[in-house]
Amino acid sequence: MTRRTVRIAVNGVTGRMGYRQHLVRSLLAIREQGGLDLGGGDVLWPEPVLVGRREYALREIADRHDLSEVATDLDAVLADDSIDIYFDAQVTSARVEALKKAIAAGKHLYTEKPTATDVAGALELARLAQDKGVKHGVVQDKLFLPGLLKLKRLVDGGFFGDILTVRGEFGYWVFEGDWQDAQRPSWNYRAEAGGGITIDMFPHWEYVLHELFGRVTSVNAHITTHIPQRWDERGKQYAVTADDAAYGIFQLEGGVIAQINSSWAVRVNRDELVEFQVDGTHGSAVAGLRNCRVQHRAATPKPVWNPDVPLTESFRDQWQEIPDNAEFDNGFKAQWELFLRHVALDEPYHWDLLAGARGVQLAELGLRSSAQGRRLSVPKLSL
Ligand SMILES: NC(=O)c1ccc[n+]([C@@H]2O[C@H](COP(=O)([O-])OP(=O)(O)OC[C@H]3O[C@@H](n4cnc5c(N)ncnc54)[C@H](O)[C@@H]3O)[C@@H](O)[C@H]2O)c1
């Protein structure tokens, strides 16, 4: 068994995503399983170098997980030839500059979404990475969630017949921060810091729709800010400058219509924080993060509209749960493993900076559609 080390600069590791999903649940989880088996007796061993602005915070994380290397000088890290991959989970507004430096330094790169806050910036990154010949990947974690994997299984198996519509509901109440602390960082509510639910969530909806149902060809969105004042991490009141709800209608190649509501000002009356209902001629499904339930046309009830008579059937009980039939790994880790195989073995990988740019494009066009009050077509992006 030969152990090959891959050194990864992890920037933004003190943040929610950087720490929990990427360091602990992905890179350290790969180490806990003995590394990534590359076949032929080779094992890839990720060696994270924790990068950030506050040395004491990085050192504290390193000590907690028996890691040794921390760094506060990104330029020095990128100048280090022994670093193979740059990973970015910083606040969105800090991303483009850091990714450009990493590309210039010839590092392979993996990054959280959105890759930029506008499509021009996102495409420029994709072009720079292509010209430099580095490998690149963008987090598209929802594709690797059990609920959506089951949904994809149904699509691939032809369960739906002709797919007509997709309805997505995403969101939960994010506390304002005065009488209860907000459960999301305050930069999410400041446009100048890269915040806003559209730039956060439309990139996810772009790849979910694209990969399961067809490329998005038009967007019609109504985007707003429901909660205009919030309180930050220090308890200081601030004016919200970013959108906190986005109501979008998307037309897809092949004719499917998708509607997705995204909101941080909604109380959850669903089984999961995001759910997609798919209706087709032969059957329907409701998929969340973990679960997926279906109703075949043969088992579809025939309700008759009569508000004068109390309901005698429970519609929710008429759905059937899809079994796992497989073991599902953490979605972030599953995608990390595919990216590491892409780097180490040159295996194909299509969730790249161009795919990331499509997500940013949909967010940008969604915001423009809302500002202009009209439906906009979504041109195909290429480099
Ligand atoms: N894939 C997903 O499902 C998912 C979910 C949430 C967030 N995200 C993305 O991950 C990124 C990080 O989000 P998060 O929720 O972990 O944020 P966070 O605020 O918890 O973490 C941000 C990180 O960036 C660092 N940082 C660097 N420059 C900064 C600056 N100028 N101001 C403040 N912090 C700075 C912070 O120290 C911290 O390590 C965002 O781009 C976000 O869009 C992705």
| pLDDT tens-digit map of 267-302 | 999 999 999 999 999 999 999 999 999 999 999 999
pTM, 2 dp:
0.96
Please work out whether the CB of residue 17 comes within 6 Å of at least one atom of ligand 1.
Answer: yes
What pLDDT is recorded for position 154?
A: 98
Q: Which two tokens stand for residue 322?
A: 């899809």
Among 79, 80, 53, 58, CA closest to 70: 58
- Supply angle C-alpha 312, 316, 320, rounded to 5: 125
201 pLDDT above the threshold of 90 = yes
What pLDDT is recorded for position 90?
A: 97
81 pLDDT above the threshold of 90 = yes
Residue nearest to atom 20 of ligand 1 (CA): 15
Please work out whether the CB of residue 214 comes within 6 Å of at least one atom of ligand 1.
Answer: no
CA distance 227 to 171: 14
Average confidence (pLDDT) over 45-50: 98
Task: Determine how β-strand 292-296 pairs with β-strand 136-138.
Answer: unpaired
Average confidence (pLDDT) over 35-47: 97
Residue nearest to atom 41 of ligand 1 (CA): 92
73 pLDDT above the threshold of 90 = yes
CB 248 within 8 A of CB 257: no
Sign of CA dihedral 370, 361, 284, 280: positive
Residue of 13, 73, 91, 243 to test ligand 1 pocket, by largest number of atoms within 8 Å of CB: 91
**C-alpha distances in Å from residue 375, one per residue of 165, 206, 243, 249, 369:** 18, 16, 19, 9, 6
CB 260 within 8 A of CB 219: no
Average confidence (pLDDT) over 187-198: 96
Residues 111-151 pLDDT 10s? 999 999 999 999 999 999 999 999 999 999 999 999 999 99
CB 136 within 8 A of CB 353: yes
182 pLDDT above the threshold of 90 = yes
CA distance 233 to 251: 39
Please work out whether the CB of residue 139 comes within 6 Å of at least one atom of ligand 1.
Answer: yes
353 pLDDT above the threshold of 90 = yes
CATH number for the region 2-140+331-350 comes to: 3.40.50.720
Average confidence (pLDDT) over 8-28: 98
Atom number, ligand 1, closest to the C-alpha of residue 142: 3
Average per-residue pLDDT for the chain: 97
How many angstroms is it from 305 CA to the middle of ligand 1?
48
377 pLDDT above the threshold of 90 = yes
86 pLDDT above the threshold of 90 = yes
**C-alpha distances in Å from residue 76, one per residue of 95, 154, 363:** 17, 48, 34
How many angstroms is it from 93 CA to the middle of ligand 1?
9
Q: Report the CATH fold assignment for 142-327+361-376.
A: Dihydrodipicolinate Reductase; domain 2 (3.30.360)
Among 222, 271, 276, CA closest to 249: 222
1 pLDDT above the threshold of 90 = no
222 pLDDT above the threshold of 90 = yes
CA distance 383 to 373: 29
What pLDDT is recorded for position 51?
A: 98
How many angstroms is it from 92 CA to the middle of ligand 1?
6
Please work out whether the CB of residue 249 comes within 6 Å of at least one atom of ligand 1.
Answer: no
How many angstroms is it from 375 CA to the middle of ligand 1?
31
How many angstroms is it from 113 CA to the middle of ligand 1?
10
How many angstroms is it from 119 CA to the middle of ligand 1?
20
Q: Is 306 exposed, middle or buried (0-12, 13-18, 19+ CB in 10 A)?
A: exposed
Average confidence (pLDDT) over 263-270: 98
Please work out whether the CB of residue 89 comes within 6 Å of at least one atom of ligand 1.
Answer: yes
Q: Where do the domains of the chain lie?
A: 2-140+331-350, 142-327+361-376
